């Protein structure tokens, strides 16, 4: 790929990344960062697999950030990987989603390294934002 294309894509997705990082999410951009984080993590972790699609922009990111900013029962950690952009990081994170088909956008709540709640794309796309928010909040209430 040309350097111009790569720079264009970095600039295009910058606000998509910042929407989550402004909400307190730690961005994991390499497979090494994911592995280091996951191998030492304790407690609960909320993971958002970010994407450039419209359902990520209009539904997934707003629901995820609203949930972590407006609940008393919060996960211990909130992180994000970006599908299609940080491919190795996303692939490494998906290794921890044992038995779950790749889906982006998606969200997972883990206790330690075990997925205890997963929200795939088909539970995001076409759903009212309130439904997605409630899905996240129910998971937080049950597991955090």
Task: Write out the catalytic residue numbers.
Answer: 53, 55
Rg of the chain on CA atoms, in Å: 14
Cα–Cα distance for residue pair 88/84, rounded to 1 Å? 9
Structure tokens at 11: 């600039």
- CA-wise closest residue to 129 among 56, 68, 77, 74: 56
Structure token digits, residue 95: 């290794």
Count the Cβ atoms, other than its own, within 10 Å of residue 15.
10
Burial bucket for residue 4 (CB in 10 Å: 0-12, 13-18, 19+): exposed
């Amino acid at each position: 790929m040309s350097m111009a294309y790569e720079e264009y894509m970095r600039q295009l997705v910058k606000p998509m990344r910042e929407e989550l990082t402004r909400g307190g999410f730690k961005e994991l951009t390499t497979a090494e960062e994911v592995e280091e984080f996951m191998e030492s993590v304790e407690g609960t972790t909320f993971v958002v697999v970010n994407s450039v699609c419209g359902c990520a922009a209009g539904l997934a990111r707003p629901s995820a950030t609203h949930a972590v900013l407006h609940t008393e029962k919060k996960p211990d950690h909130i992180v994000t990987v970006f599908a299609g952009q940080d491919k190795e990081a996303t692939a490494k994170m998906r290794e921890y989603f044992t038995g779950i088909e790749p889906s982006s956008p998606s969200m997972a709540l883990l206790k330690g390294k075990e997925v205890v709640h997963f929200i795939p794309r088909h539970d995001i796309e076409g759903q009212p934002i309130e439904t997605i928010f409630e899905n996240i909040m129910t998971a937080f209430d049950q597991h955090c």
